[in-house]
Amino acid sequence: MKVTAIIIFVLGILSVAYGYWGVFSAAGSRMYDEMDGLIPFAVLIIGIVLLIAFIILNIVIRRRRKSSVKTTK
């Protein structure tokens, strides 16, 4: 499960970076005109959702680790 969290984190960071470039930079604005700008915007939103999923998954992993330590004592 930890590997899955790392993969989600990396994909989230890459998606946010690409989406930010496409939406907020001059080069991205030149590359994606008008309606094409929805592609980087959607990728930006997906990246944010992936980062939120990473945070939730990290919380679950930590709680499971704490509960397994309590039961072994």
Break the chain into its structural domains and give their ranges.
2-72
The tokens for 33 are 């005109």
Directed axis angle between helix 38-72 and helix 2-24, to 10°? 160
Check residue 58 and give its pLDDT: 96
Task: Report yes or no: 14 and 42 within 8 Å, Cβ to Cβ.
Answer: no
For 32, left (φ over 0), alpha (ψ -120 to 50), or beta? beta
pLDDT single digits (tens) 5-51 = 999 999 999 999 999 999 999 888 888 877 788 999 999 999 999 99
